[in-house]
Structures are given as C-alpha cells and as structure tokens.
Amino acid sequence: MPNDATPDPNEEQIAFGQRMKILRDRRGMSRPTAAGLLGMSTSWVKQVERGQIGMPKLPVVLRIAELLRVRDLSDLTGDQTAPVDLFIGPGHHRLPAVRDAVNALTLGATNRQAPSPAHLAARLAKAWAARHQAPNHREVIGDLLPGLIHDAQLAVRQADTAADRRAAQAVLSEVYSLSQFFIAYQPDSALLWRVAERGMVAAQESEDPHAIGVAAWLAAQAHRDSGPAHFDAANAMTREALAFLEPALPDADDRTAAIAGALQFEAGYTAARRGETGTAWGWWDKAQATAARLPASYYHPVTSFSQAIMGAHAVTIAVELRAGGESVRQAVAADATAIPSRPRLARHRIEEARAYHLDGQQETALATLERAHEAAPETIRYNGYARRIVLEETESRIPARRQRAAVLADRLGLLAA
C-alpha cells in the first residue's frame, strides 16, 4: 500500500485517536468544529488524535460516535469483540423481500393488468395509515411494500397516455418514499440512496408539485444524515424545492402547503446542525406560519407536518443547537398527545430524552426513552441517539440508573454479543 494512502479505521492496529481523525476527515469536519460540537477545546481534540491523550471514557466516546455518525462503535474504538451498531439498526427480516422488489425489472411480458393509479393511491393511503397506527411499523409496511412497488412499476410501464403515465409516476414516487421509511437506518445504505434517487426521478417525471416536494424532503434528509460535508447539498435540495413550490402556494391544497412547511422546517434543521441559531429559528417561524394556515386536524401522511407537530419540531431545533435549557423548555411546552402517529410520537419522545440528557437530567431522559419504547419499539431500536444515551447510562455511577439503562439496553438488543 502506498505510504500516502488513507488507512482503514477497521484495521485493528490503528489507535483510537487515529481512527477518530480518519473518521472526522471522512465527514469533512474540521478539528475546531468537532471540538465545539463536543464541548471540548481544539487542543483536546488534537491531543486525542495524536495519541497524547488515551481513549476517553465511554460517555465521551459515545458523543464522538454520535458526532461522526459511526455505524458500529468498534469502527471508532477498534474493539471487534462486541460490535455495537449505533446509527444503523438491525436488519429487518423483511428487508430482503423489499430489496428484491426494488431491484426487479418489470420488462418481461405479463398478462396481468396493472392497477389504476387511483387504486394504487388508495392502497398507499391505507399503508401510510397502518404505519402511523402500528408500534411495529416496519413489520407492517415491510409486508405491504413488495406488492406496492411491483404494481406501481407495472402501472408506469402499462400507462397508455401521457396523463396516465404522469399519474402513475406520482404514485410510484410516493411508494419509493414509503420504502425509504422502511429502509432507513438498516444495513443497506446503497439501497436507501437507490430508492431516494428513483423516487426523485419518478417525481420529476410526474410533474406533480407534491410528489416533487416529498422526494426533495427525503433526499435532503439523506444528504444531511451523511454528515457535515453534505449539509450544503441538503440545503440546496431544500431551497430549490421551495423555490419550485412557491408560485403554487397561494392557491395550494393542504398537502402541497404541508410539504412546503415540511421543507421549511428541514432548512431550519440543517441550519441547527450547523449551529446557526438565528437561521434555524427563522425557518421554524416560517414553518409555523405555514402550519397555521392548515386545518387544526390536518396531518400530512408522509412528513407528519401539521399544527400538532410544530412543538416537536421546536424541541428538535433546540436539541440540535445543543441548548439544554431551551430544549427542556420546548419539551415541556410541546403537546405530545396531539401527535396521532405512534412512530412519530416515539421519535418525539427520543428528542425529548435528548433534551433532558443535554440538561443533565439523565433519570428523566431514561424515563422518556421508556415511553418512546412503549409508543413504538421499532422506532427506538433503530435510533442512534436513543441507543447512545442508553449505552452511556449503562456506565452510570448510580446503581439504580445503571440497572434501569441495562434493562432498556436489553430490550433494544444492545447487549447482544
């Protein structure tokens, strides 16, 4: 291997500090940025990366893992004896069937008539409703997706007119959107990106503003979750989609207005990840104004955008800005009972737990994660932030808290060898 080649952090001889630097460089994150987000000095990060300071204790290691979005904790620590996935959850047993449906071609001859776009849209609406109502939502939609993917692809192929083809493409795009909710945080990132790209292509072919908005919303999230080096791409995707939707907004129906509001929040979310406080809250204000024009009972089936979700969104902005006290204030103010979706409620509980953890209220954070588990166990099992908090608290010096965290870690499958 050439001397100037980038080392592989998975090779065991590489020390913790070297792994940290390699992973930080791969994320496109500067040393001062990493230091600021960790609450440490730049010189501390430099000393750790140079091996002048040994591997920190587990709570700090987990914060570094969260910051660098490592999939497996051993990628950072080098300890391969007990791998622990953080931001990639377990592979669902229905993932192979969904993958096969995505990868299959519909070029062969078939005597079966494709369902109409209207029929597919009705099935899709039922699938979204089932997802929101189910605690085991990946199980539910994983069962429905292979048939939906195949039928939507067939509908596009068999469309007789340009109008029918556009309608079928709009449905296919949303089927891919549902697929992204299933595939996210599972061990096949290439499949996630393939589905995201296909969803965007189908949306553009449909020329439907709502479909384009949803595809852009999900693509922006995929870019942002890829790390700081991709924040610009996430922001560009969001702003371009908003510019596309803007002319239609004065007369837009509720779902198109809602996707615009969801994109406004996404712009704020990315700004918060960058530590841009004023910009982040400015976008939240715009999203709040958009939510206010929607009926009080309206709830967007894909993005969850609604009046009910804005309190939860405020918690997320404060947490991403690392503002512990403000995060807790927003958590107390948010009306979680207004969120009708079980997986979205569980996600909100996790954000609340992050708020309490930031504020030093670890006992309350654990209790809140237990409530997230009650709402939707599959959501918390696949959430890296929740997993990090639970693992950190298994090292607590307080026996009762350590035991409580160990019980929750066992439920999440974190203690499995």
- pLDDT, one tens digit per residue, over 229-265 is 889 999 999 999 999 999 988 888 999 999 999 999 9
b/e sequence 239-278, b meaning 16+ C-beta within 10 Å? bebbeebeeeeeebeebbbbbbbbbbbbbbbbbbbbeeee
How much is the pLDDT for 70? 74
Give the residue among 408, 375, 378 at the shortest CA–CA distance from 391.
Answer: 408
- Which of 39, 62, 77 is the C-terminal boundary of a domain? 77
Question: How many domains does one find in the chain?
Answer: 2
Count CB atoms within 10 A of the CB of residue 178: 22
Residues 6+ apart with CB under 8 A from 11: none
**CATH number for the domain including 48?**
1.10.260.40
Task: With respect to residue 360, please indicate whether it lies within any of the assigned structural domains.
Answer: yes
Q: What does 73-137 look like in DSSP terms, one character per residue?
A: HHHHH---SS--BSSS-PPPTTHHHHHHHHH----S---SPPPPHHHHHHHHHHHHHHHHH-TTH
How much is the pLDDT for 337? 86
Residues of the chain under the 50 pLDDT cut: 1-12, 417
The Cα–Cα gap between 206 and 186 comes to 29
- Which of 44, 77, 110 is the C-terminal boundary of a domain? 77
Task: With respect to residue 251, please indicate whether it lies within any of the assigned structural domains.
Answer: no
**CATH number for the domain including 328?**
1.25.40
Task: With respect to residue 280, please indicate whether it lies within any of the assigned structural domains.
Answer: no
Domain that holds residue 409: 308-417
Token couple for 232? 């610009």
DSSP 101: H
Task: With respect to residue 238, please indicate whether it lies within any of the assigned structural domains.
Answer: no
The Cα–Cα gap between 20 and 235 comes to 26
- Which of 54, 77, 100 is the C-terminal boundary of a domain? 77
Q: What does 274-325 look like in DSSP terms, one character per residue?
A: TT-HHHHHHHHHHHHHHHHTS-TT---TTT--STTTHHHHHHHHHHHTT-HH
Backbone angles phi, psi at 320, to 5 degrees: -65, -25
